[in-house]
A and B are shown apart, each in its own frame.
Chain A
């Protein structure tokens, strides 16, 4: 296992990480430069009244200095309290759990849909528009419904329904779509020679599906899983803000709290933004790892 992990960190991967870090530094420099330039201009604005605010909102409230943002990680909402970095870490874990369940549920729904849609042109023409329509309905329109269902009497379930599960359901709404769409493409991707060969052996639809279509769809599915994983994190964050999860504190709640108190402590909101970004990257990275392991073992190409 250790050896495998090491192999994944080959030269190309190291270079990618370095480029990523270099890009981050560049971004921070651009931010600082914009701020410095805007402030210098602001000081002169009285003389250059005709220009107006060319680079507006560069004061510390609207653009807190990068170093202030970074040092805020080690601070805490109250004296002697838990630091923001540790709150963000446990918040990210909480949100990742919701996102993970959403990912699994959404992927299963997406796969089932893909298999159904790949069965016949008629099914695809009939159902696909509805799958697409489902994604035009904004998340905030369905959250109140999911919350109300979650409060209904769900005693028939073998486990107690918690509010974070409602968040998972909301997030799964975003995850099934890429899996369904890419799944159909993948299932239909085998060439007719392969299919005809199987048919000449007298193979059943099920065995063609399992032995030809499904393996062929893997590269397509992993592309979808990468989209679904990040969508699950976004969906979980939005879901937490909309529904207010009891019994824990996710990234969504943190970001909302930071946004609400922006006026008094603007640096904090940036912590939330960075935290959400890293969490999304982490979810994405996990899928890439699984993808590499599986596709390497099947000898298939990774679709970029």
Chain B
């Protein structure tokens, strides 16, 4: 009996030690050095898993733009149940990337956050359909099965329908759509919601069974909400609002963080090929041609920039707030308290002083060839 219990004890002890050892093993502290008196640690919460949508931040880490500004930035990737603004307000991150309309609700509910840099000027959301469905304009959606993702991704579509005198409840058949394009390819829906930098490319990476070749852009019609006037602002950098007002150190960190991030985005605009490699290095499961496409399209959402990059375009801010109010995302128009431009202005001024082009007026989209499965 004694031998037996000793044996069991040993096994239990073994398991516990193993658990503790694996838990303790990954302890690494790397701190940036250089000409800094003090390096500030910063955590950035992304809205989604690592992909070229966030290339600029990864590039700023890899290229040392943050560490040049005495920042040690840790990027936290998003996931299905991660709400960046919640992470920001509960102190899990110092800054967060989020679409603007997804933050209006929390702000109305009392979340103390503010938009300090509107990185993307254009919306990447499309409604994609096959040519033979003859959906050439929003009003052609009348009577069609229209896919959307829900969860706050549907407002541009709903506003666009109403603007074209279609009742979303009765004139179209709104259908919940999964985060892939099978529903469109299987013809379960006539028009699918798609991000120009992700799901739209997925269709172009799939084999058309009729031709045994990849689908091409000629097979598809797109509705672009930027052209329809119901686009809402997407990726922006959010910060803790009152802390920015009360804590000058945090304000200083925020300015440096925006500057470093934008420098990363400028590098990705001017050096797309190495920038894609930075993304691929951080996300080994992703395909190269898909991420090359994605970065190209993301650049198209930023550049050319009507203001100095990330300084809020007031018209688009107002449009976003108006659509949000009309679509009942918020009860009353959020006005302009949800953003401030001084930090982005200070950051872009520093970049201009360093000789960077912060508008990218001459930038043009490249032609990216997608391979099967996004390889």
**Mutual binders A and B:** yes
A114-139 with Cβ < 8 A to chain B: none
Q: Which residue of B lies closest to A266 (CB)?
A: B182
Given the known inter-chain contacts A60-B209, A77-B287, A215-B4, please indicate yes or no for A147 contacting B81, CB distance below 8 A: yes
Cβ of A143 under 8 Å from chain B: yes
Distance between A257 CB and nearest chain B CB, rounded to angstroms = 5
Which residues on the A side are within 8 Å of B259 (C-beta)? Answer: none
The reply to whether B79 and A160 form a contact with Cβ atoms under 8 Å apart is no
Cβ of A277 under 8 Å from chain B: no
Given the known inter-chain contacts A61-B209, A242-B80, A290-B11, please indicate yes or no for A263 contacting B19, CB distance below 8 A: no
Cβ of A158 under 8 Å from chain B: yes
Which residues on the B side are within 8 Å of A100 (C-beta)? Answer: 18-19, 22
Q: What is the CA–CA distance of A25 and B193 in the complex, to the nearest angstrom?
A: 39
Q: What is the CA–CA distance of A137 and B34 in the complex, to the nearest angstrom?
A: 50
Select which of B49, B91, B179, B288 is within 8 A of A78 by beta carbon: B288
Which of B199-207, B264-272, B310-318, B331-339 is found at the contact surface with chain A? B199-207
Which residues on the A side are within 8 Å of B76 (C-beta)? Answer: 163, 244, 246
The reply to whether A151 and B16 form a contact with Cβ atoms under 8 Å apart is no
Q: What is the CA–CA distance of A101 and B22 in the complex, to the nearest angstrom?
A: 8
Distance between A25 CB and nearest chain B CB, rounded to angstroms = 27
Which residues on the B side are within 8 Å of A201 (C-beta)? Answer: none
The reply to whether B181 and A263 form a contact with Cβ atoms under 8 Å apart is yes
The reply to whether A151 and B90 form a contact with Cβ atoms under 8 Å apart is yes
A241-271 with Cβ < 8 A to chain B: 241-244, 246-247, 249, 253-254, 256-257, 259-265, 268
Cβ of B1 under 8 Å from chain A: yes
The reply to whether B19 and A294 form a contact with Cβ atoms under 8 Å apart is no
Which of B23-31, B104-112, B154-162, B233-241 is found at the contact surface with chain A? B23-31
Q: Which residue of B lies closest to A268 (CB)?
A: B373
Q: What is the interface residue range for chain A against chain B? A: 35 or more
Which residues on the A side are within 8 Å of B287 (C-beta)? Answer: 77-78
Q: What is the CA–CA distance of A298 and B3 in the complex, to the nearest angstrom?
A: 10
Which residues on the B side are within 8 Å of A87 (C-beta)? Answer: 284-285
The reply to whether A143 and B19 form a contact with Cβ atoms under 8 Å apart is no
The reply to whether B91 and A151 form a contact with Cβ atoms under 8 Å apart is yes
Which residues on the A side are within 8 Å of B19 (C-beta)? Answer: 100-101, 104-105
Q: What is the interface residue range for chain B against chain A? A: 35 or more
Given the known inter-chain contacts A100-B18, A261-B373, please indicate yes or no for A77 contacting B285, CB distance below 8 A: yes
The reply to whether B24 and A249 form a contact with Cβ atoms under 8 Å apart is no
Q: Which residue of B lies closest to A297 (CB)?
A: B7
The reply to whether A77 and B78 form a contact with Cβ atoms under 8 Å apart is no
Distance between A168 CB and nearest chain B CB, rounded to angstroms = 9
Cβ of B8 under 8 Å from chain A: yes
B interface residues (Cβ-Cβ under 8 A, vs A): 1, 4-5, 7-8, 11, 15-16, 18-19, 22-24, 26-27, 49, 74-83, 86-87, 90-93, 179-182, 184-186, 199, 202-203, 205-207, 209, 280, 284-290, 371-375
Nearest 10 A/B pairs, CB to CB: A244-B79, A151-B92, A265-B373, A263-B181, A264-B205, A78-B288, A242-B81, A104-B19, A159-B24, A262-B180
29 pairs from A and B in contact (CB 8 Å cutoff): A57-B186, A61-B186, A78-B287, A78-B288, A79-B288, A79-B371, A87-B285, A100-B18, A101-B19, A101-B22, A104-B15, A104-B18, A105-B19, A144-B83, A148-B87, A159-B27, A160-B26, A160-B27, A163-B76, A242-B81, A243-B82, A244-B77, A244-B78, A244-B82, A246-B74, A246-B76, A247-B26, A261-B180, A264-B203
A interface residues (Cβ-Cβ under 8 A, vs B): 57, 59-62, 76-79, 81-82, 87, 97, 100-101, 104-105, 108, 140, 143-144, 147-148, 151-153, 158-160, 162-163, 165, 210-211, 214-215, 240-244, 246-247, 249, 253-254, 256-257, 259-265, 268, 290, 294, 297-298
